[in-house]
Each structure stands twice: as structure tokens, then as C-alpha cells.
Amino acid sequence: MGTVSKTPSRMCLFVLINLALMAAAAAAAGRVDPEVLARQEADRVVKLPGQPRVEFRQYSGYVNVNESHGRALFYWFFEAFNEPENKPLLLWLNGGPGCSSIGYGAAEELGPFFPMKNTRDLKFNKHTWNKAANLLFIDSPVGVGFSYTNTSSDIAQLGDKNTALDSYKFLLGWFKRFPQFKSHEFYLSGESYAGHYVPQLAEMIYDNNKKASEKEHINLKGFIIGNALMDDGTDQRGMVDYAWDHAVISDQVYHEINKKCVFNFSELNPPLACNKALNKYFEVYNLIDMYSLYAPTCPKPRKHQRTPIKGAAPKLFSKFEKWHMKPSGYDPCTTAYTEAYMNRPEVQRALHANVTNIPYRWTHCSDAINNWKDAPFSILPIIKKLISGGLRIWVYSGDTDGRIPVTSTRLTLNKLGLKTKKEWSPWYTNIQQVGGWTIEYEGLTFVTVRGAGHEVPTFKAKEALQLIRHFLLNKKLPSTPFD
């Protein structure tokens, strides 16, 4: 899709001239082959329907991760707002498992364009993270969003390990398509189940870099994860403690859970009394938004539940339907606007998406994924390994989230046993406002974002942009008020 005022012939001429200029510039710099630039240009998104005018370039399309199976992951990439040649590259992953990084991360949290209510236009996000970095989103694993496989049995084989492997293969393929970004500092980011995805992918890159050729070496420097699922025992225990401490559940329900349930890695089939107590706990979240305790709920009837995914972490809570609620945001009906926009044929054409005519509507989270082959109980051993490997690691938490609450994350990080370098202290967004709290450990920084729910950039966009800028610059958040 292009600018409607141009005729087809003028549009073709415009594209050819632009491609020629890009090729000439690259040839002069001696960096990018003209054939590679042609492939990039094929993925160039000239303009989305209803998109406001911007100066930065954007690209989207597919990278094949398994030729024989016809397996491909969909990506959406935004060059940095200014000086993309000097900015790092940041990959964002949403979790689920089975939820779209395009639908949540790009279109509702930290990308530059957001669908709106009762309009076919897009709103520009003034706190977009491509003001800090070149920004890459992928729908992972296959079966999520626009990513697909031509081998139906692939869906039944999904799990943490092959999700990490496909994402790694995607990166190798993407860097071949965009080699001008290969030397840039590369960082991973994500939220929720990306507490599994991001450290696992970081570990795969870290391990493979030790034996990779120069062509396949990835310049990974670190990762940042928010409201992240990292350890089944403490994540689940922290959810219950947080709900009681925030007056969500009664003393009776809290004491029943403590008496009947044991949150350890061996209890996969708890007694009936534990299940009954947990059902009472989850029932409360029919009334309020688990992902943001103080946000309104959408008045329009819509499907809140996803099909439970057997085998996903956390092993105990993932058996309950209420665990699979979909998140909302500031406007609790935001997901409806995104779903309507992404299912428009002209939008899919502009994004070079759905090229295989997927036989289902685009949704935020896949209902086709109902079985998960592998998920470790804890990601902490990987995090310990990568701390020792020298990667920069930050963990952040919106403090009104009931899904992976700040209580869970604090309990989880305490299990790492890291030495404290700087104790718990406030950080500031300006002269008056505390943005949250932070503690610096040996090898890891933890940050809370005050008043944010599960999807921190949705609820506290300005603070989230400040957070990611400081992480990428390896700079401490301001500990005193400032103008």
C-alpha cells in the first residue's frame, strides 16, 4: 500500500529511484550488496492504512526457519527515530506462551503506531521505543499471529526449546537480510512468559557465539525482562501473597491455599482441596483485571479466556482456565481495536503478512496451541550462567500487576543469592515524581515502575521509555529529583 495520490506508474518509479539511491549509497560505503538491498526493499512498508507521516523506515515480512517444513516467523522492524546507524538493535518478545509480539508489543505497548477506537486511523505513540533503539518484533513460535508452518504436526511439538531454536534461526536469517545492523549492539527484551523466552534465547546465542563463524556471530550485550515468569514456586507463591496483601482475596481463601497447597516443583497434581482453594482465588479475577488491579474492565462482552496450554510453566497454575486470561491496558478494550485493524486485508497486504492465506482470523493469542512439550520449572540457572558470562541483565516490574506481581519477582530474585551493591531506593521521572524503586545486585538490576500493570509500557509509557534508555546506555536511573 502506498500514498493514494500517486498513480501506479509513479509509485513504481518512486520505489525504483529509492532502491537505486539506497544501492548507490551502500555500494559507496562498501557494506551492503544490491541484491540484499532489493530483498530489504521487498519488505519495506511504504505506508500503512491510516498511518501518520513519519521519517523513519519500517519493514515487515517473513524469515524462513525450516525450509522442509515450510516454517516461517513474521517480523515487524522499525529503524530508530534518529541516527539508526548509531543506535543499538532491540528485539521485543511477548509471551503467553502463544501470544503475539506484533499485537501486544508493537501495536499496544511500545511500537510507534496504535490502532484506535471507532476509526480506521493509527495513533502515533510519542513514547515509542524506537526513539531509543532500532526496534524489532517477531511473532514466535509458529502458529502465533502471522507466523505459520505448512507442517501441521509442528504445532503439537511446540515448547521452550524449539521456540528458542526457531528464534535463533530467525535472527541468523534476519541478519543476512539486514547485514548493516549486524555490528550493532544487540539486546533482548520482553515480558511475562518472555521470562522464559528471553533468557533461553540469550543462552542459545551466548553458547553458539563461542563456536560461531564471524558470519553467524551475534553481538549480544544483554537483556531486560518485565513482570517475568522465571520460577514456578516463587511466581505462584508471590501471586497469592500479593492478592491477599492487596485485599483481593479474603483471609479465609488465603489461609486455605496456604494450608492445602504446596508451591514446589514436585506438586503437579495437588489434592482436591488445593484445587478448590485456587478456584476461589481465580474467581476473584472475573471481577477485576488480574493484569492491573486498579484499571477498569471492558464493558463489551468479549472472550477473556484462552484454551489452557498443558505443560506450560507454571505447571500448577497453568492448569486453571483463569490463568489464561488475556491482558488489557489503559483502555481495557484496546485489544478489540487491534484485532479489527490486523484483520483488514489492506493492512495485511501493506505488512506483507498472511501470504499463505492462514485459515483463521488473526488474534492476539493462538487457540491452536494447546500443548507445550517442555518448560523448565525455573529459569534461574540460566540467569546465573549469563550473569557469570558478563551480560547486562535488568528485571523490571509494574507494581499493580497481579499476574506476575512484584512480590513474585522479589521472592524469585532473592533465590539467586546475589550480593547487593546498592540498596532499595527510589528513582525519579522529574523534580517531583517517583517513578518507582530500584535495587542493584552484583550482575543484575531490579526496577519497579510505580502504578504500572503487567504491560508496563501501556500503563506508564514515559517511565518505560526512560527505563529502556537507561538500560541501553548502561546508566543508572536518577536517584534524586531533576528538572
Residue 86's DSSP bridge partners are none
Q: Are 270 and 319 in contact (CB under 8 A)?
A: no
> Which residue in 232, 241, 399, 401 is the catalytic one?
401
Burial of 374 (0-12, 13-18, 19+ CB in 10 A): middle
> Which residue in 196, 352, 454, 470 is the catalytic one?
454
Q: Are 1 and 9 in contact (CB under 8 A)?
A: no
- Which amino acid is located at 195 in the chain? G
Q: Are 89 and 133 in contact (CB under 8 A)?
A: yes
- For 299: left if phi > 0, alpha if psi spans -120 to 50, otherwise beta; the answer is alpha
Catalytic: 401? yes
Q: What is the number of H-type helices and E-type strands within the chain? A: 14, 13
List Cβ neighbours of 320 (8 Å cut-off, separation of 6 or more).
278, 279, 282, 308
3-state secondary structure of 250: coil
Q: What is the DSSP string of 104-128?
A: IIIIIISSSEEE-TT-SSEEE-TT-
State the CB neighbour count (10 A cutoff) for residue 276. 12
Q: Are 160 and 183 in contact (CB under 8 A)?
A: no
- Which amino acid is located at 476 in the chain? K
Q: Are 88 and 187 in contact (CB under 8 A)?
A: yes
How far apart, in whole angstroms, are the C-alpha atoms of residue 362 and residue 8?
29
> Which residue in 192, 292, 318, 397 is the catalytic one?
192
What is the set of active-site residues?
192, 401, 454
